[in-house]
Amino acid sequence: MQDGRFPRARSALAQRYLLPTLPPLGRTELTGDLAHHLGRVMRVQVGERVRLGDGVGGCAEATVLSVDRASVVVDVAHVTRRARTRPQVTLAFACPRPARADWLIEHGTEVGVATFQPIWCERSRPQKLRLDRWRKIADAAVGQCDRDWAPTLLEPVELGDWLAGERPPRSLLADAAGELLTATAGDGGRDDAALLVGPEGGFTDHEVQRAVDAGLRRVRFAAHTLRTETAALVGAALLLCDADEASD
């Protein structure tokens, strides 16, 4: 039997449904929330094809054999696995307000962010984070955009602790006073990257200097100031713009 994670929002757009592990080839019974969603919400019919994923590179193509109140039985005909593509982008961000944070997680997942790292700083202090909610939002986005690998969501850390840790050599600080980063600026390619985005109002001068001293390069993405979640999304997209061409 299999239970799983599946997109709750915009369910009609789902391209795949997540399970903790992919079923083997052949007949498999899906139960629990996933069966309810497929059978009662999506109203799948016998003969329809569904795509199942595990969020770690695996994808199974299956055909619906039967649907009842408690389960959906499928026949898994084909399983594939894909390695992670390069570059892998880590997004370290000062936590915005809850609704904006939800937006950042959803659309950052769709863009292709590999790791989300919430940051506490002087202008963004600890508050109750909804990591379980973020996981559901990310899973929904994975299903909707047919992504092979689900992103990693990390526990929040203080800015100083993150700066003192290991990061990719290509580490950037979103800063309105930095150099303009564009899709043609030669910053794409295979190298993993980390992008640090500050809170509303920006990092303090002291925090910016700490980031620069830690080796981060100051960059901006527009001629005007962007909100935290907008800068995060635009910056990640620019860093990932050559990923398809660079991947094996």
12 — phi, psi (to 5°)? -65, -20
Quick: pLDDT tens for 168-187: 999 999 998 899 987 655 45
242 pLDDT more than 50: yes
- Decide: 212 and 206 in contact? Cβ < 8 Å: no
The predicted pLDDT at position 5 comes to: 59
Among candidates 165, 146, 170, which has minimal Cα distance to 155? 165
In our burial notation (b when 16+ CB lie closer than 10 A, e otherwise), range 109-120 reads bbbbbbebbbbb
243 pLDDT more than 80: no
Place of tokens 């564009």: 182
The predicted pLDDT at position 1 comes to: 52
The predicted pLDDT at position 13 comes to: 43
The predicted pLDDT at position 10 comes to: 37
> Could you tell me where in the chain the CATH 3.40.1280.10 domains are found?
89-246
205 pLDDT more than 50: yes
- Decide: 112 and 215 in contact? Cβ < 8 Å: no
The predicted pLDDT at position 106 comes to: 96
What residues contact 30, with CB distance under 8 A and at least 6 apart? 1, 2, 3, 4, 38, 71, 72, 73, 74
Length of the chain: 248
DSSP secondary structure, the chain, as one string: -B--B---TTGGG---EE-SSPPPSEEEEEEHHHHHIIIIIS---TT-EEEEE-SBSEEEEEEEEEE-SSEEEEEEEEEEE-PPPS--EEEEEE---HHHHHHHHHHHHHHT-SEEEEEEBTTB------HHHHHHHHHHHHHHHT-SBPPEEPPPEEHHHHHHS---SEEEEEEEEEEE--TTSS--SS--EEEEE--TT---HHHHHHHHHTTPEEEESSSS---HHHHHHHHHHHHTTTHHHH--
The predicted pLDDT at position 189 comes to: 59
Predicted structure pTM score: 0.86
The predicted pLDDT at position 37 comes to: 86
Distance CA 19, CA 178 (A): 42
Q: In terms of pLDDT, which residue wins out, 8 or 40?
A: 40
Quick: pLDDT tens for 55-95: 999 999 999 999 998 999 999 999 999 998 878 999 999 98
Percent of the chain with pLDDT over 90: 67
Q: In terms of pLDDT, which residue wins out, 229 or 1?
A: 229
150 pLDDT more than 60: yes
Average pLDDT, integer, range 193-204:
94
34 pLDDT more than 80: yes
Read off the tokens for 10.
């915009």
Percent of the chain with pLDDT over 70: 89
> Could you tell me where in the chain the CATH 2.40.240.20 domains are found?
11-81
CATH class, 11-81 region:
mainly beta
89-246 CATH, one of 3.30.450.40, 3.30.413.10, 3.40.1280.10, 3.60.150.10? 3.40.1280.10
The predicted pLDDT at position 42 comes to: 87
Confidence of residue 112 (pLDDT cuts 50, 70, 90): very high
The predicted pLDDT at position 25 comes to: 95
The predicted pLDDT at position 128 comes to: 76
- Average model confidence (pLDDT) across the chain: 88
The predicted pLDDT at position 182 comes to: 76
11 pLDDT more than 50: no
